[in-house]
Chains A and B, each alone.
Chain A
Amino acid sequence: MATTAARRLTNAGPIAYASLVVILLASVFPLYYSFLIASKDNSALGDAFPSLVPGGNLVENLGRVFDTVDFWSAMQNSLIVAGTVASSNVLLGTLAGFAFARLRFRGSHSLFLIVVGTSMVPTQLGVIPLYVLMSALDWYGTLQAVIVPALIGAFSVFWMRQACEESVPQELVEAARMDGCSVLRTFWHVALPAVRPQAAVMGMFTFMTAWNDFFWPLIVLDPNDSPTVQVALSTLASGYYTDYSLMLSGASLAVLPVVGIFLLLARQIVGGLMQGAVKG
Chain B
Amino acid sequence: MTVAPARRGTGTRRPVPPPHTGRPSWRDRLGRLDTRFTPYLIVAPFFVVFGVFGLYPLLSTAWMSLHDWQLIDGAQAFVGLDNFRELLADRNFWNALGNTLSLFLLSTVPQLVAALGLAALLDRGLRGRAFWRAGVLLPNVISVAAVALVFAQLYGRDFGIVNHLLGLVGVDPVDWRAETWASHLAISSMVMWRWTGYNALIYLAAMQSVPKDMYESALLDGASRWRVFWSITVPGIRPTILFTVIVSTIGGMQLFVEPQLFDPGGTATGTGGTDRQFQTLVMYLYEKGFRLFDAGYSSAIAWVLFLLILVVALVNFTLTRRIASKG
A residues with a Cβ closer than 8 A to B are 2-3, 5-7, 9-12, 16, 19-20, 23-24, 26-28, 30-31, 33-34, 37, 45-46, 48-50, 92, 95-96, 98-100, 103-105, 108, 111, 114-115, 118, 120-133, 148-149, 151-154, 157, 177, 180, 182-184, 187, 208, 211-212, 214-215, 218-219, 223, 230, 233-234, 236-238, 242, 244, 247-248, 250-251, 254-255, 258-259, 261-262, 266-267, 269-270, 273-275, 277-278, 280
Contact = CB atoms under 8 A, between A and B. Distances in A.
B121 A12 contact: yes
A234 B258 CA distance: 11
Nearest to A156: B46
A167 B136 CA distance: 29
B264 A242 contact: yes
A71 B159 CA distance: 27
Interface in B28-44: 31, 34-36, 38-40, 42-43
Interface stretch (B49-57, B76-84, B90-98): B49-57
Contacts of B122: 20
A230 B143 contact: yes
Nearest to B254: A124
Contacts of A254: 143, 145-146
B49 A151 contact: yes
B182 interface: no
B137 A128 contact: no
Interface string B243-276: 1001100100110110001001111100000000
A129 B60 contact: yes
B39 A105 contact: yes
B149 A247 contact: yes
A30 B147 contact: yes
A123 B193 CA distance: 24
Interface stretch (B100-108, B203-211, B319-327): B203-211
Contacts of A124: 254, 256, 282
Contact of A125 (B133, B147, B151, B305): B305
Nearest to B299: A128
B161 interface: yes
13 contacts: A10-B125, A10-B212, A20-B132, A23-B197, A33-B150, A49-B161, A105-B40, A118-B54, A125-B282, A129-B56, A182-B38, A183-B34, A278-B205
B130 A270 contact: yes
Contact of A118 (B50, B143, B216): B50
B88 interface: no
Nearest to A48: B164
A20 to B, nearest CB: 6
Interface residues of B, number: 106
Given A34-B150, A238-B268, A16 B124 contact: yes
A123 B60 CA distance: 11
Contact of B49 (A9, A114, A149): A149
A120 B150 contact: no
Interface of B: 31, 34-36, 38-40, 42-43, 45-47, 49-50, 53-61, 64, 71, 74, 118, 121-122, 124-127, 130, 132-139, 141-154, 156, 158-159, 161, 164, 193, 197-198, 201-202, 204-206, 208-209, 212-213, 215-217, 219-220, 240, 243, 246-247, 250, 253-254, 256-257, 261, 264-268, 282, 285-286, 289-290, 295, 298-299, 302-303, 305-306, 309
Nearest to A185: B34
A278 B136 contact: no
A89 B22 CA distance: 45
A267 B130 contact: yes
Contacts of B127: 12
Nearest to A100: B43
Given A16-B124, A214-B257, A277-B202, 8 more contacts: A27-B197, A50-B161, A127-B285, A128-B71, A248-B153, A266-B134, A273-B137, A277-B240
Given A125-B58, A128-B302, A5 B220 contact: yes
A16 B121 contact: yes
A69 to B, nearest CB: 13
B159 A46 contact: yes
Given A49-B164, A128-B64, A214-B145, A277 B150 contact: no
B300 to A, nearest CB: 10
A233 to B, nearest CB: 5
Contact of A133 (B39, B57, B59, B213): B57
Contacts of A105: 36, 39-40
A259 to B, nearest CB: 7
Contact of B130 (A99, A211, A259, A266): A266
A86 B42 CA distance: 17
Nearest to A223: B267
Contacts of B149: 34, 233, 236-237, 247-248, 250-251
A151 B50 CA distance: 10
| Shortest beta-carbon contacts, A-B, top 6 | A126-B57, A238-B266, A6-B216, A266-B134, A129-B60, A212-B143
A6 B240 CA distance: 26
A152 B49 CA distance: 7
Given A12-B126, A45-B159, A121 B54 contact: yes
Nearest to A182: B34
Contacts of B198: 273
Nearest to B132: A20
A118 B46 CA distance: 10
